[in-house]
Structure 1
Amino acid sequence: MTFNVLLQYLLPHRALSRVVYWATRWTFSPWKNFLIGQIVRHYDVDMSQALQPDALAYQHFNAFFTRKLRPDARQADADPATVISPADGRISQAGPIVDGRIFQAKGQSYTAAELLGEEAAAAPYRNGRFATVYLSPRDYHRVHMPLKGTLKETVHVPGRIFSVAPFAVEAIPRLFARNERLVCHFEGEHGPFAVVMVGAILVSSVATVWDGLVIPPYAPSIRRKSFAGQDITLARFAEMARFNMGSTVILLLPEGMAELDALAPQQAVKVGQRLGMLGQD
């Protein structure tokens, strides 16, 4: 076990995340400008696509981090029968779910039931398809709908807040099924699908367009919230949520809904980019 991986087990995840949550919202100009400048330079962030291209004009670091893009910066694939990427980032893994197991990396896997927090919810995905997208600090951090869907339920699953950087994903067993996460269950025109917002160290914070800030507070136990009868329907490509700091999005599709394209690990993707086709499984 490397020193970086050992630290993931030893660090006080939630305490650190609370400190960073506060620090990234401090409006003191020298502080927020220092943080923003560090990220822009270190990760070569392209601000030309942002609605506000002046990185230092943002009120605080988190406002910069969750910045909106220009309306023409991203476009959905023109074919309405395609499944599109919910996020900018890189493909961590993608492909078939085999007998309920989802591949993580280098021999690591976890079950759909572990990820979703219950066996019953995982049943439609037993032999379905999945795509895991890793968002680095340089990426656009708003998450969009891969398909049109009506929100049925969210499930806030408590857990650790390990890093989701590639080194951690390769070394920490069942990482995505252990981290704090928000599971969003939708019913689409071709069946159910789930979008899982997986938290990460230094700040596991998620906000949705329908509920605002959901994480934090961190959950002491599984929290379910039903949206049945509320008719919250989001169009394909519509914004659905955002990460306040980086993390990972996992898309689950049931058996028979779609076939994914040949998506290679570490392949760069953008919101709206084609991931696969409906009705091809």
Structure 2
Amino acid sequence: MSLDKLKVNLQYILPKHAVSRLVGSFAASEAGPLTQAFIKWFIKRYNINMDEALHSDPKAFKTFNDFFTRELKPGLRPIAEGDKVVVQPVDGAVSQAGPIEGGRLFQAKGHDYSLHTLLAGTSEDEAKFHDGQFTTVYLSPTDYHRIHMPMTGTLRKMIYIPGDLFSVNPLTTAHVPGLFARNERVVTIFDTDHGPMAMVLVGATIVASIETVWAGTVTPPTGPQVFSWDYPAEGDNAIVLNKGDELGRFKLGSTIIALFGKEMLEQFDDNFEPGASTRLGQPMATLR
């Protein structure tokens, strides 16, 4: 057995939720010198560019989570203008981008997964994205871990879906069938002037928390069943997020999947292809 396969197979027997919550407890704790030492080690280990951070001194962060979800300096990621420009929602790397064909999304060579399962089996939600487009972007430990809106939208629904916590790094993505539709995730669905859009925040091993700006922490705690929240389309209680606004954040890194309705996108940007680096605010696609 190759080393890569061994690494993947070990994930099947690892108590992933228990490990993730244990790491999460430490990441949320104010452990003083221990927290500071770990932050400094992490910066060195992953070559974090702290010159981009609003607070560049590690001592400014009381917890590892505060550091990991650090803000960037204002104006550092300008949002591309233009009514037809869809922007990249995160710093990361493109895993896949393309059409949703036959209700299925491409994961990696030899693997795909169903839109039906990804969205927790809701036929009405699933229908919004049939024959649409999608992209999957992986956030590494080095990256900025806040998620922003690729285009302006009104929040209509949020779904918490329990599941596994496999790693979502490229190695696991290439070997675990249906990875993104089996991991714990939070689905957010928006109405836009051009059609429906969804942002799926996928959990992973040692991802201690997924948050949104309107609900705060969605997970943990985890649960055995799907939960869903609906939001108004208009009125004082409507939640409207503009292009570039913060949507949520990962406390420890993971993956986002963006879904777009049928015929919404003219095309993805020429440089937006598997393996390419992404930077928040740069053009990702053009609307029809």
Distance in structure 1 (CA, Å) of the matches to 2:53 and 2:59: 12
- 1:149-168 counterparts in 2 under 5 A? 149-168=153-172
Residue 126 (structure 1) aligned to one of 130, 134, 139:
130
- 1:57: Cα distance to partner? 2.2
- Are 2:48 and 1:34 aligned? no
Q: 1:15 to 1:223 in 2, by over 3 A?
A: same
Q: What is the TM-score normalised by the length of structure 1?
A: 0.96
- Are 2:279 and 1:270 aligned? yes
Residue 225 (structure 2) aligned to one of 214, 218, 221:
221
| Residues 180, 204 of structure 1: 8 Å contact kept | no
Structure 2, gaps ≥5 residues long: none
Please name the residue that 1:260 is paired with: 268
Please name the residue that 2:25 is paired with: 22
| Residues 94, 278 of structure 2: 8 Å contact kept | yes
Distance in structure 2 (CA, Å) of the matches to 1:204 and 1:103: 27
- 1:191: Cα distance to partner? 1.1
Distance in structure 2 (CA, Å) of the matches to 1:141 and 1:80: 26
Please name the residue that 1:114 is paired with: 117
| Residues 129, 260 of structure 1: 8 Å contact kept | no
Distance in structure 1 (CA, Å) of the matches to 2:16 and 2:232: 34
Residue 53 (structure 1) aligned to one of 51, 56, 63:
56
| Residues 23, 208 of structure 2: 8 Å contact kept | no
- Are 2:231 and 1:239 aligned? no
Percent identity between the aligned chains?
42
Deviating runs (4+, > 6 A) in structure 1? none
Distance in structure 2 (CA, Å) of the matches to 1:83 and 1:39: 33
- 1:130: Cα distance to partner? 0.5
Tell me the SS of whatever aligns to 1:123.
helix
Distance in structure 1 (CA, Å) of the matches to 2:212 and 2:29: 22
Please name the residue that 1:76 is paired with: 79
- 1:221: Cα distance to partner? 0.5
Letter of the structure 2 residue corresponding to residue 220 of structure 1: P
Letter of the structure 1 residue corresponding to residue 199 of structure 2: V
- Are 2:7 and 1:7 aligned? no
Distance in structure 2 (CA, Å) of the matches to 1:274 and 1:95: 16
- 1:60: Cα distance to partner? 1.0
Instruction: Please give the per-residue CA displacement for 1:39-60, whole angstroms capped at 9, x wherever unaligned.
Output: 2111111111110011232111
Distance in structure 2 (CA, Å) of the matches to 1:277 and 1:125: 17
Structure 1, gaps ≥5 residues long: none
- 1:8: Cα distance to partner? 1.0
| Residues 39, 138 of structure 1: 8 Å contact kept | no
| Residues 92, 137 of structure 2: 8 Å contact kept | yes
- 1:261: Cα distance to partner? 2.3
Tell me the SS of whatever aligns to 1:272.
coil
Please name the residue that 1:143 is paired with: 147
- 1:204: Cα distance to partner? 4.3
Distance in structure 1 (CA, Å) of the matches to 2:45 and 2:285: 33
Q: What is the TM-score normalised by the length of structure 2?
A: 0.94
Please name the residue that 1:66 is paired with: 69
Length, aligned pairs only: 279
Distance in structure 1 (CA, Å) of the matches to 2:66 and 2:254: 16
Distance in structure 2 (CA, Å) of the matches to 1:196 and 1:204: 17
Distance in structure 2 (CA, Å) of the matches to 1:234 and 1:208: 12
- 1:30: Cα distance to partner? 2.3
Distance in structure 2 (CA, Å) of the matches to 1:106 and 1:93: 11
Instruction: Please give the per-residue CA displacement for 1:215-255, whole angstroms capped at 9, x wherever unaligned.
Output: 11112101001112531000010001000100001000011
Letter of the structure 2 residue corresponding to residue 234 of structure 1: L
Distance in structure 1 (CA, Å) of the matches to 2:83 and 2:57: 34
